[in-house]
C-alpha cells in the first residue's frame, strides 16, 4: 500500500524570531517607502484605493487628477452621473463596478458622516466598495492609525516566502503578521514589503542574490533556482 505523502511543514525563518531583523533591514533598505497612490486628503486616498483594485498604482495616478478635478469633494462625487465617472476611470478596469462603488461611497459619506471620511475601521468597511484592505490603507496613511496591516499581492507573497505565514487568504496572512511586528510599524511594514516585492522579490524571477534578507529567508534556496 502506497504511503500517503507527508504533510508539508509550515515554513520557518532560518533565524528564530527573524521578524524584528526583517523589519530593521527593510527599513534600512527602503527609508523612503510610502503609499504610492497620489492623494492630498483622506477622501482622495479612499477613492484612489477603490480604483486600485486589479489595477496598478501608476495607472490610478494617471486617472485621479481628472477625477478629483471634476469631483473634488464627497458631495460633488455623490451627485455625479455614473456614465461621467465611468468615462474618467475606464482605463483602471472594472470601471462600471468601480464607478458605482465610488458614487455609493461618496453618498454614504455625505449621508452618514457629514461628508467626512471616518477614522474608524467599522465605519469604513460599511462604505460601498470598501473592504478591510482599503480601510487599512486609509487609516494608516491618511490618519496614522495602525489598526491592521495592508495585505496586497506583494505582502502576501513575501510573507509566505519569508516563512511569516503559510496562508493565501489575506485576512489570515494579516492575522499571522500582527503578533510578529510592533503595532506602531504595521503601516510601514506593508510599505517595505511592497517596495521589496517590486524591486527585488519578483513573483516569477526573484533576485535572491541581491536580497538583504537572503540569510533569513527559507525560500531563498528554492525560488532563485
* 181: DSSP letter: S
Would you tell me how many other CB atoms lie within 10 Å of the CB of residue 113? 15
User: Residue 152 catalytic?
Assistant: yes
With beta carbons less than 8 A apart as the criterion, state whether 11 and 163 touch.
yes
| Catalytic entry in 133, 144, 202, 205 | 133
Reported as type and span, the H/E element at residue 89 is: helix 82-89
**How many CA atoms does the CB half-sphere of 166 hold within 13 Å?**
7
Q: What cell does 71 get?
A: 469631483
Reported as type and span, the H/E element at residue 75 is: helix 74-78
| Catalytic entry in 152, 169, 172, 205 | 152
Would you tell me how many other CB atoms lie within 10 Å of the CB of residue 221? 11
Torsion of CA 72, 74, 80, 86, to 10 degrees: 80
Catalogue the active-site residues. Answer: 133, 152
Amino acid at each position: 500500500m502506497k504511503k500517503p505523502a507527508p504533510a508539508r511543514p509550515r515554513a520557518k525563518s532560518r533565524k528564530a524570531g527573524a521578524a524584528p531583523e526583517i523589519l530593521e533591514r527593510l527599513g534600512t533598505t527602503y527609508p523612503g517607502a510610502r503609499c504610492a497612490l497620489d492623494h492630498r486628503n483622506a477622501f482622495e486616498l479612499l477613492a484612489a484605493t477603490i480604483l486600485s483594485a486589479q489595477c496598478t498604482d501608476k495607472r490610478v495616478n494617471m486617472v485621479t487628477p481628472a477625477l478629483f478635478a471634476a469631483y473634488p469633494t464627497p458631495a460633488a462625487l455623490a451627485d455625479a452621473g455614473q456614465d461621467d465617472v465611468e468615462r474618467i476611470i475606464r482605463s483602471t478596469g472594472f470601471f462600471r463596478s468601480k464607478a458605482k462603488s465610488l458614487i455609493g461611497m461618496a453618498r454614504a459619506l455625505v449621508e452618514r458622516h457629514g461628508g467626512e471620511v471616518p477614522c474608524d475601521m467599522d465605519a469604513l468597511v460599511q462604505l460601498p466598495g470598501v473592504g478591510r484592505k482599503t480601510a487599512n490603507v486609509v487609516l494608516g496613511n491618511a490618519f496614522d492609525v495602525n489598526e491592521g496591516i495592508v495585505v496586497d499581492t506583494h505582502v502576501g507573497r513575501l510573507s509566505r516566502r519569508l516563512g511569516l505565514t503559510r496562508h493565501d487568504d489575506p485576512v489570515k496572512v494579516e492575522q499571522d503578521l500582527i503578533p510578529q511586528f510592533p503595532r506602531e510599524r504595521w503601516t510601514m511594514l506593508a510599505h517595505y514589503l511592497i517596495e521589496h516585492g517590486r524591486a527585488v522579490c519578483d513573483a516569477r524571477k526573484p533576485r535572491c542574490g541581491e536580497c538583504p534578507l537572503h540569510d533569513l529567508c527559507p525560500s531563498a534556496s528554492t525560488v532563485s533556482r
